[in-house]
Amino acid sequence: MDRKLATVKSHADVDETETTVILEKRQGARCGIDFGTSCEAGMCCSSAGWCGQGYLYCSAPSCQIEYGPACDANIRPSGPETKNVPRPKVGSVPYGTSVRRCTRPGDIALTYDDGPYIYTDDLLDKLKAYNAKATFYVTGNNLGKGKINDPNTAWPGLLRRMVAEGHQIASHTWSHQRLTTLTESKFRNQMNYLEIALADLFGYFPTYMRPPYSACDGACETLLNEFGYHITYFDLDTEGYLRNSPLAIQGSKDIWDAAQSVYNLTDYMLASLQRNGFRAVTVGECLGDPKANWYRTVGTPNPPSTTRTTSVAQPTGTLPATTNGRCGFIRALRVGMPGRLRDVFRLEPGRGDDYHHAARANDYRSPSVHEWSLWPEPWQCHLCEGAAWCNVLFESWMVRLHWRSLWDRMPDWLWNVRMKLPSL
């Protein structure tokens, strides 16, 4: 028995058989950018650099698509090819460069990223109640939700409802990969695959997009210009809104459709806009761009299936209720921690932006103790009262703790917590 296994056994209140099984999962082939190696055919490369199969290894955006052939992001959806579709650049909105502000006074462009997801149906109800329009920057296959044109899921019905109720659909890429880190081939797949899925549903695909993580350098802009996309961002975000920043007459408002913030913020935001005389419109409308310019036609879409769109309940659990308005996985993890470890996971006022960006990169890491990392998969952040906190929507089977070579130093209480989690 090697030293690492023996050390773990001494810390764990479990029998030797169970400990051995857990460690064997961690002794598989290494892969990814940190190791410079790829997995075999049919295997995926997890965000932590392990080859394997199943949700925790293969789901986007965590799976390292350059190193895991079977990552779900690498699988082409069904639908018409879009590579040869003509892409004329029409209208006054610039292509291949950053667009951040509306051009019509009194307009607010509401934008929602990363959906459709389990909250989208309720979000559409809220928008309808206020006669508000929004732009949905959709992803094609992330968070383990499956392809958005799969007739066996709720997503086609939700997307059709968006269009039927006057909302705009825009691209947030196929699987929410950071475009600035991809090879050109993978970059093109990220754009083409979402186009294919949407063309399969509607017979057209969007000309508007937002880069995941709002990351797009010069090379990225050049390729998106070739694709004929308007690169749209935002100039007001939800964190600023929670901190009572003044509302601009011209602006855009960004929320994650894939997160619970739709419950916490949308009603408040829509009521505020209505009271102050603003109009909630699509991005295309706030830029004065005719609707005919928002999409490129491919062909005849597939007819809708009989799949019924339903709203999925929010995950529940047995975590303690918040007593100060802060919520989420990190808050729950801190309950009962010894003081020295509690400091490792503390999100301090003034560091909100650092943790916000870390969250979107799937890496919760202490700024002072870099070896200790939490890896929620899939990541989902939502905002609660106390905007400096980035909170993770917790569902125990989605979460695994990845400790980087710290078996020897893992405290007994924490190892026992790890043993009580579902086998991952």
* Domain match, 118 and 210 both: yes
pLDDT the model gives residue 125: 94
Report the CATH number that the domain containing residue 219 is assigned in CATH.
Answer: 3.20.20.370
* Domain match, 217 and 366 both: no
Domain end: 255, 281, 297, which one? 297
* Domain match, 145 and 38 both: no
Does 223 reside within a domain? yes
* Domain match, 7 and 155 both: no
Does 93 reside within a domain? no
Domain containing residue 347: 329-420
pTM to 2 decimal places: 0.64
- The length of the chain is 424
At 120-177, the pLDDT tens digits run: 998 999 999 999 999 999 999 998 899 999 999 999 999 999 999 999 999 999 999 9
* Domain match, 133 and 59 both: no
* Domain match, 334 and 291 both: no
The helix or strand, by DSSP H or E, that contains position 209, with its residue range, turns out to be: strand 208-209
Whole-Å CA distances, 88 to 66, 209, 296, 323: 31, 16, 9, 55
Higher pLDDT, 30 or 391: 30
The residues facing 109 across adjacent strands are 252, 281
* Domain match, 243 and 118 both: yes
Check: CB of residue 66 under 8 Å from CB of residue 187: no
Q: Which residues contact 292 (CB under 8 A, 6 or more apart)?
A: none
Separation CA 365–CA 293 (nearest Å): 43
* Domain match, 289 and 149 both: yes
At 302-350, the pLDDT tens digits run: 666 544 333 333 333 344 444 544 443 332 232 333 333 323 333 323 3
* Domain match, 222 and 282 both: yes
